[in-house]
Amino acid sequence: MTQGSGARILRSGGDAVTLTIEIDREEDGRWMADIPELPGVGVYGLTRDEAVAKAEALALRVIADRVEHGELPADELRVSFALPLPNAA
């Protein structure tokens, strides 16, 4: 697996959690993007970009669900994604 992206969740109180998107290419050509810090957030895409986009979208859905259910505080919650150039992975 290659690390392809990171996301930061900033919560009030200064706590920060870094989410890493790990990217791997399967033997059949599909791309797998997984976020180990969020169990169950693993997706496939036909391209690297599609897999990364799907992983980011699913991560945001999981985070939103956790906020909705009171598992994460909504106060000052900010999420950002950074992705290195494709040839850097």
The DSSP H or E segment spanning 24 is strand 16-25
For 33-89, what is each residue's pLDDT tens digit?
Answer: 998 888 899 999 999 999 999 999 999 899 889 888 888 777 766 666 656 566 654
- Residue extents of the structural domains in the chain: 2-80
Residues 6+ apart with CB under 8 A from 2: 22, 23, 24, 89
pLDDT of residue 30: 97
Q: Is the pLDDT assigned to residue 23 strictly greater than 70?
A: yes
Instruction: Report yes or no on whether pTM surpasses 0.75.
Output: no
